[in-house]
Amino acid sequence: MSRVHNFSAGPAALPLEVLEQAQASLTDYEGSGMSVMEISHRSKAFMQIAEEAEADLRELMGIPDDYAVLFLQGGATQQFALLPMNLCAPGQSADYLVTGSWSKKAYAQGGAVTQANLVAQGDNASVPAVDSWNLNSDAAFFHYCQNETIGGVEFHELPETGSVPLVADMSSTILSRPIDVSRFGVIYAGAQKNIGPAGLTIMIARKDLLEQGGEGLPPILRYQTQAEAGSMSNTPPTFAWYLAGLVFKWLKRQGGIEAMGEINKRKAEALYAAIDGSDFYANPVAIENRSWMNVPFTLAKPDLDSVFLQEAEAAGLMNLKGHRSVGGMRASIYNAVSEDSVNALIAFMADFESRNA
């Protein structure tokens, strides 16, 4: 079978050696005679998996001791509602910056449970100018999406929000390069892009925010409940947690997220250079807001979109169709997508252009 290059936006590619390691544990985890999916989340074996995963994530991201790390169910989308429920006092509003589809959904969900202040709304191709932002200094938090997976709009500088805690949806950019966790009140991310399989959400939150929030909520909906229980107030998604831990160890073997950031920068720069150097392909995003992780592009002849996709799949270049809401193409080049895969895409694009321009 010829090599497959997976550019899926999520669930996304996972490192092959991680998949092979997980495969070996499917029927017999470390000589136990049981699958890693069959052991109790309260067992000594799984507690070691959980503790190592958290320790490795803390090391990779430099997470301070005054931050909790939670391994949650429900996906990042569920946090759109749970965040204001947990962090807003009665009558308190939250600030939302909308730069694309996911931050728009977060704003809508936030508005369903608290007063949501629209700071600014972008055009899906750039971040609104800072001098246009309508900030509320009394907001419980400022929410934004670090990287819009659908539109390919990314922040390369952190928003300045003063004393208002910064809350970031990092589902598609977490672990792709170093960040200063101490600048944030809360970071959350669905696992299915840079961490592991779908079904797990990582949350990194200042402990003081969790301790003061969620008053009046049922305990199961309070982040503090999960923090006190080590993310095990109910049965967690154990296999997804296990795989996330394997990915964290894989990242450490690659040299950590500093080294991964250098690789991701090269991948993105090479692909954008191929697009910009062509009259046949175009990227709609402002250069200063171009995503390292999700690269949308269009063809000068849109009637060739289906042909491009068919030929790409025949060449082993999979999942390049753009999101249904925007069309065109999209290459998601997360951590597990190698430079070889990006180079294969670039070579195919050049060949396709030479035959169809």
Q: What is the pLDDT of residues 184-240, one digit of tens each?
A: 999 999 999 999 999 999 999 999 999 887 788 999 999 999 999 999 988 899 999
Say whether both 63 and 194 belong to one domain: yes
What is the predicted pLDDT for the residue at 81? Answer: 94
102 is a catalytic site residue: yes
Give residue 267's pLDDT.
Answer: 98
Does any domain span residue 236?
Answer: yes
**What is d(CA 37, CA 19) in angstroms, rounded to the nearest whole number?**
14
Same domain, 241 and 308: no
**Annotated catalytic residue, options 104, 169, 250, 267:** 169
User: Which one from 95, 102, 104, 321 is the annotated catalytic residue?
Assistant: 102
Report the CATH number at residue 207: 3.40.640.10
Last residue of a domain, one of 193, 226, 253: 253
Q: How confident is residue 2, by pLDDT bands cut at 50, 70 and 90?
A: low
Q: Which percentage of the chain shows pLDDT scores above 90?
A: 85
pTM reported for the whole predicted model: 0.95
Same domain, 231 and 346: no
How far apart CA 329 and CA 281 sit, in angstroms, is 10
Query: Could you tell me if 155 and 238 lie in one domain?
Result: yes
pLDDT digit string, tens, across residues 302-327: 999 999 999 999 999 999 999 887 88
The verdict on residue 4 lying in a domain is no
Among 234, 253, 272, the domain boundary falls at 253
Q: Are 68 and 194 in a shared domain?
A: yes
Whether residue 312 sits in one domain with residue 213: no
Ranking 31-45, 73-87, 272-286, 299-313 by mean pLDDT, the lowest is: 31-45
User: 82 pLDDT band (50/70/90 cuts)?
Assistant: very high
**d(C-alpha 225, C-alpha 354), whole Å:** 59
Q: For 35-44, 238-247, 308-317, 341-350, which range has the lowest pLDDT when averaged over its residues?
A: 35-44
Q: Is 246 inside any structural domain?
A: yes
Distant-in-sequence, close-in-space partners of 66: CB < 8 Å, separation ≥ 6: 206, 207, 208
Q: Kindly report the number of other CB atoms within 10 A of residue 2's CB atom.
A: 6
87, pLDDT greater than 60: yes
**Residue 211 or residue 280, greater confidence:** 280
How many independent structural domains does the chain possess? 2
* Residues 137, 163 contacting (CB under 8 angstroms): yes
The pLDDT of residue 42: 87
User: Tell me, what's the pLDDT at 120?
Assistant: 95
Q: What is the pLDDT of residue 323?
A: 86
Question: Both 146 and 196 in a single domain?
Answer: yes
**What CATH number is attached to the domain comprising 284?**
3.90.1150.10
Domain that holds residue 316: 256-356
Per the annotation, the verdict on 351 as an active-site residue is no
For residues 277 and 283, the answer to whether their CB atoms sit within 8 Å is no
d(CA 332, CA 349): 15
Q: To the nearest 10°, report the CA torsion of 245, 232, 206, 94.
A: 110
- CA proximity to 294, closest of 166, 138, 153: 153
Q: How confident is the model at residue 297 (pLDDT cuts 50, 70, 90)?
A: very high
What is the reported pLDDT for 349?
98
Give yes or no for a contact between 37 and 233, defined as CB atoms under 8 angstroms apart: no
Q: How confident is the model at residue 337 (pLDDT cuts 50, 70, 90)?
A: very high
- The answer on 302 and 249 residing in a single domain is no
The answer to whether position 108 is within a domain reads yes
Residues 246 and 308 in one domain: no
Beta strands, E only, the chain? 5-6, 67-72, 93-98, 115-121, 142-145, 147-148, 153-154, 166-169, 186-190, 201-206, 281-282, 294-299, 317-318, 329-332
Q: Are residues 172 and 231 in the same domain?
A: yes
Residue 138: the pLDDT is 93
pLDDT-wise least confident of 46-50, 172-176, 340-344: 46-50
Contact 125, 151 (CB under 8 A): yes
Residues 313 and 261 in one domain: yes
Last residue of a domain, one of 221, 253, 285: 253
Using CB atoms within 10 A of its CB, is residue 20 exposed (0-12), middle (13-18) or buried (19+)? exposed
Per-residue pLDDT at 146: 96
Reported as a single tens digit per residue, the pLDDT across 126-156 is 999 998 999 999 999 999 999 999 999 999 9
**Do 56 and 165 fall into the same domain?**
yes
104, 193, 267, 321: which is the annotated catalytic residue? 193
Read off the DSSP letter of residue 141: -
Q: In angstroms, rounded to a whole number, what is the distance separating the alpha carbons of residues 342 and 265?
A: 12
Instruction: Determine contact, residues 244/194, Cβ cutoff 8 Å.
Output: no
